[in-house]
Structure 1
Amino acid sequence: MYKKENFKDNLLRWFNVEQREMPWRETKNPYYIWLSEIMLQQTQVATVIDYYLRFIERFPTIESLNNAQEDEVLKLWEGLGYYSRARNFHTAIKDVYQNHNSIVPSEPEQFGNLKGVGPYTKAAVMSIAFNKPLATVDGNVFRVWSRLNNDDRDTKLQSTRKAFEQELQPYVESQAGDFNQAMMELGAMICTPKSPLCLFCPVQDNCEAFEKGTVNDLPVKTTKVSKKIIKQHVYIVKNNKNEYLIEQRTEKLLNNMWEFPMYEATSKKNINTELEMNISFSDKPVYKLKHQFTHLQWDIEVYMANEAIDKQQVELPERMQWMNFKDKEQYNFPVSMTKIYKFLKEH
């Protein structure tokens, strides 16, 4: 490992000049910083900014979010994906409201006990909001630290994360928040996964991988496991009042969100068995799409009912209802269903 003492100075000097403007960098409100870190998980900065601004406009305080219904929270999250983040954050905020007098705990152990707060979130929020000496290790930091030290340890292993946290600890004993943000910013802007901008790197002189020509070989991480692919059939049913049939999900994935009725292609269950009817549908799908989750992919085929059905002639199951197109914004639709909605609207 390199021993050059000017590494941190070089990094912070660069960060103070080159850091991107982000709304959550303009505040020390731990609630806002916490929200931004939750939104930024698995999501690009450019996407998050608008969601973040809308969220704090609607829920400017912990009390206001505590009082919100889950449906409203999910509606503001619609399109960001990974909805468990929103649910966990909402639950944690209720805990803060009820058990911490609406004050985000400044002690790492207390904060780490809140719903959805893992090691990374704890370190990020505690260091940025309260300058607690905790090192953040995310994908950017894994990459930067591996290259700086020409380190070929597998970054998918928990033991590597622990080791990196310990090695970074001396650098967060002071200016922890700035250092952590600078490391992540360096990974996002300069030390990128492909074609890193080494010639513009403020810590090039501190980088062993640059010196040895191994930058593109690092970091080392085990190959991702192939995603499970599930073929899904979506059925579009319209009634004689020009309303569309939708259903609220009961599955753990996207729980309680609304969708056009969808069933696995291999399932014996479909919309006709559910409604106890014999609705005829298009022979071929009218629309196809793929939707990616972390460990799963849906291959979706959309089928359209050939005729509108009489609203009075069908008794809907409890979790189904009719939706007028103009009322779509009242429902929490996952991204895949929003795409189908847009297709139907345009056709």
Structure 2
Amino acid sequence: MRDGKGAIGESLLKWYDAHARVLPWRISPADRAEGVAPDPYRVWLSEVMLQQTTVAAVRDYFRRFTECWPDVGALAAAEDADVMAEWAGLGYYARARNLLKCARVVAHDLGGTFPGKAAELQRLPGIGPYTAAAIAAIAYDEPVAVVDGNVERVVSRLFAVETPLPGAKPELTALTAQITPQSRPGDFAQAMMDLGATICTPRNPTCGICPLLGECDARHQGIAETLPHKAPKKEKPTRLGFAYVVMNDAGDVLLERRPDKGLLGGTLGFPGSDWSEAPSPTPPLAADWVEAPVEVRHTFTHFHLILRVHVTRRDTDGLTPREAFRPADLPTLMRKVWDAAQSADWPQA
């Protein structure tokens, strides 16, 4: 059914020129044609933020980050705590720690300039094969295959690939490389992403208006909506834990910064126990503790978590002043702990 690599690229780029999404980190096709070059810093920042997160969730974070730190040098000079606070709520906090590490390498060791090749970009902290390819293609027009979840779905349907994911990833990457044009590879990569996000969607794809309708093997076989196949997911285990909220009568609260390594690493939060099948209560101080009637439920990539929240009122050293405590600076899990604490019948100090 396919007329070849050139037909796919030509058809898709023509569609992209007319229908490209407007995104705060993107240079439009029209501006690109006028010679406006993408900023590698903004491309890198957006790609890191978009990992395992939606475009809708990232927009406001991206705007705030670029207002606070408009270039890689500014981000490299930022305080870790400030960056972690701005990142709060985006999840996968290792990304934020690697963001700072990468910015500092680029600013201090590479003269503030990101490498232009995917192979060189992969040597930087936190930049894997996908992110390296995206930066190289979009910012520098290197004709490399850029394969995210949207592209996997588009390519699996174009070529009717029935091998289940994740096992199909190498095949899908090779096929994407085959159809990636030498001219405008960055626009092509973004067009593939847009096609998957707006037309070749997981459910109910609007094949009738797809610019690649005539090239799609799965469509011609009547199996487009069934692809890509996915291997069955393993059931996530459930872990339990305790969280402790200490507050005095002035509204000052006890917070701690979590170790850099591990889940929620480097973020602020409330003291707590280990997370396991049988955690041991580990209150941070001796007090009259009251359990909140609402438990906290949260899901990480590999497990579900249930926290029992205990609260107390105490005048003690190390409390964060009420005026400096902003729940919005906490990661989502800790904001849930704070919300659960509000339902408790707090003891008197």
TM-score, reference length from structure 1: 0.88
Deviations 1:161-204 (A, max 9, x none): 33322222242322110111111111111111111111221111
Aligned partners of 1:154 and 1:222 also within 8 Å: yes
Q: Is it true that 1:246 corresponds to 2:255 in the alignment?
A: yes
Residue in structure 2 matched with residue 220 of structure 1 by the alignment: 229
Aligned partners of 1:96 and 1:102 also within 8 Å: yes
Q: Is it true that 1:230 corresponds to 2:230 in the alignment?
A: no
Q: Summarize the alignment of residues 137-176 of structure 1 with structure 2, pairs less than 5 Å apart.
A: 137-157=147-167, 160-170=168-178, 171-176=180-185
Q: Which amino acid aligns with 1:257?
A: T
Structure 2 counterpart SS, 1:116: coil
Q: Is it true that 1:12 corresponds to 2:17 in the alignment?
A: no
Structure 1 counterpart SS, 2:247: coil
Residue in structure 2 matched with residue 67 of structure 1 by the alignment: 77
Residue in structure 1 matched with residue 109 of structure 2 by the alignment: 99
1:289 to 281, 289, 296: 296
1:332 Cα deviation (Å)?
A: 4.6
* CA distance in 2: counterparts of 1:72 and 1:280, whole angstroms: 32
Change (3 A) 1:345 1:328: farther
1:302 to 309, 316, 333: 309
* CA distance in 1: counterparts of 2:246 and 2:327, whole angstroms: 19
Residue in structure 2 matched with residue 335 of structure 1 by the alignment: 332
Q: Which amino acid aligns with 1:173?
A: Q
Deviations 1:202-253 (A, max 9, x none): 1111111111111122102212222231112222222344322223223621
* CA distance in 2: counterparts of 1:286 and 1:327, whole angstroms: 27
176-185 vs 229-238, which moves further: 229-238
1:55 to 57, 62, 65: 65
Q: Which runs of 4+ in 1 moved over 4 A?
A: 342-347
* CA distance in 1: counterparts of 2:302 and 2:92, whole angstroms: 12
Residue in structure 2 matched with residue 204 of structure 1 by the alignment: 213
* CA distance in 1: counterparts of 2:279 and 2:172, whole angstroms: 46
* CA distance in 2: counterparts of 1:44 and 1:151, whole angstroms: 25
Aligned partners of 1:133 and 1:176 also within 8 Å: yes
76-85 vs 244-253, which moves further: 244-253
Q: Is it true that 1:31 corresponds to 2:41 in the alignment?
A: yes
Aligned partners of 1:290 and 1:298 also within 8 Å: yes
Aligned partners of 2:145 and 2:176 also within 8 Å: yes
Residue in structure 2 matched with residue 109 of structure 1 by the alignment: 119
Aligned partners of 2:242 and 2:281 also within 8 Å: no
* CA distance in 2: counterparts of 1:115 and 1:300, whole angstroms: 33
Residue in structure 1 matched with residue 279 of structure 2 by the alignment: 267
In the alignment, structure 1 segments of 5+ residues that lack a partner are none
1:268 Cα deviation (Å)?
A: 2.6
* CA distance in 1: counterparts of 2:315 and 2:56, whole angstroms: 45
Q: Which amino acid aligns with 2:92?
A: Y
1:280 Cα deviation (Å)?
A: 3.3
Aligned partners of 1:247 and 1:261 also within 8 Å: yes
Q: Is it true that 1:132 corresponds to 2:132 in the alignment?
A: no
Structure 2 counterpart SS, 1:88: helix
Q: Which amino acid aligns with 1:334?
A: P
* CA distance in 2: counterparts of 1:140 and 1:224, whole angstroms: 19
Residue in structure 2 matched with residue 325 of structure 1 by the alignment: 322
234-243 vs 106-115, which moves further: 234-243
Q: Is it true that 1:255 corresponds to 2:265 in the alignment?
A: yes
RMSD, aligned CA: 2.2
Structure 2 counterpart SS, 1:98: helix
Change (3 A) 1:97 1:325: same
* CA distance in 1: counterparts of 2:102 and 2:53, whole angstroms: 21
Q: Which amino acid aligns with 1:270?
A: T
41-50 vs 1-10, which moves further: 1-10
236-245 vs 325-334, which moves further: 325-334
